Structure 1
Amino acid sequence: MKLSTIHWRGTTAAARIEGERAIVLERFADVGDVLRAGAPSAVRAIEGPVIDRDAVDHAPLILAPSKIVCVGLNYRAHILEMKRDLPEYPVLFAKFADTLAAAGEDIALPAESPEIDWEGELAVVIGSTVRRASAEQAEDAIAGYTIANDVSMRDWQFRTREWLQGKIWERSTPLGPVLATPDEIPTDARMTTTVDGVQKQIGDIHDLVHGPVDLVRYVSTITTLRPGDVILTGTPGGVGHARDPREHLASGSAVEVTIDGIGTLRNRFVAEGS
């Protein structure tokens, strides 16, 4: 099953995606609302207005997660290109809900940062409340997966040893377009990122130092994870910052992140204020 959050009649609503149509679930404001209601499986049978999938205007998949936890240096290829050692423990940082943007949304390039980079990522969406989860509990708590682009202002990120200031720019992290339940994800699923049609990243989403279940276990040891919370699992090799010469996004750049079984997250980048 695939779920999305869309703009609908002046507000937002969750929608069930079936092929080339979207069934609007008007009683739910977003996918997070579906998960907090404990109703992900129940919405398979709910009917509502039907619109063409091409006419969908996406909102951020989860409007107000209580937590967005991000993992750095989690793909072996990316770790090597950044010239770092494999981490024994997950490298964690956080984002705020204000950072989230929608699939298809124009993302502003702030004038304060000329070094803006792409990072395609698999994102885990939590479906039930867990604390100090066992492996089985952690697996059961995963409602599904979506796509994120952890857009990074590299000059700000590396001003200090803490990355936070390069990762939390407002409306900079697109999330979507759908939540795909775990059964939708093939065992050989790959992620690719293209910039203006040129492939920049490719990676096996299962080739993580710390996989989704391990991450849910680890993070839930520290803090309670709740329905609608999101974990970004890290990015594979091919980011602009690690290229020689380095590459950065410019006004007009179009970035597509595709993961098998989920779909494609597309966004255009424009100079702020244009």
Structure 2
Amino acid sequence: MKALHNRYFILGAVIVGLLFLFMAVGFFYTPYAPDKLNASAIYAAPSLAHPFGTDNLGRDILSRTMVAARSAFAIGFFTVLVSLAVGVSVGAAAGFWGGLADMILMRLMDTLKSIPGLLFALMIAAVFGKSFWNTVLAISIIMVPSFARIARSSVLQIRERDYIRKARAAGLPPLRILYLHVLPNAVSPVIIMASLSFSEAVLIESSLSYLGLGVQPPAASWGQMLNQAQSALMSAPWLSIFPGALITLLVLGFNLLGDGLRDLLHTARL
């Protein structure tokens, strides 16, 4: 019930929920075929027929943004899933065993963290090619160190608690202690990081697509649509306004959701 009184959580959940619904509806219905060309409606301004207007090929912007939302949510989901699994495993191992393992693993994470994220993603895309899964790989590698640091910090605090010492004294295997007693109690900050990382993944994917190194045509992407809109910023501003607004709203929604979760989980621990 506390969630109902947290305005950040409520607002973030509403924004993300509406955008998810916007994306989900696109699987079953779009006003027009996203790639349908219409020579008689080139650069048509927003109207009842085309609420978001049309582009330089007469394609309906509303239909294309609905389809492009799939790329944003899919890349955000798979990126967070991969980086969370790898980062938490690395950070938990470093924090639980400490010593040489901690030093080697965290110095590796520091090295990855020192590389500018977008530059590293550009390098991955250039080496392995432009595709959906290569974009997921590039962004996941960028975000692994953040999850590793959060997991390590949580595990370092939990491993010294009395119930962990009692579990060790009882002779339980280290891996059993880690997975059954340590990680379940370290999940709160990881959940918050996952929410914030989703918005970061959407921003990086949009940047890569804008540069032509992310999701490739014929698949639609909000960043790709912004790239196509730059040649008509003054004559057809709706080409950039709607994809840009959707990126902003999705990032804002997940950031608010993360802030709300942080407050709720902090209150729950008090």
Task: Report the TM-score when normalising by structure 2.
Answer: 0.26
Higher strand share: 1
Task: Report the TM-score when normalising by structure 1.
Answer: 0.26
Higher helix share: 2
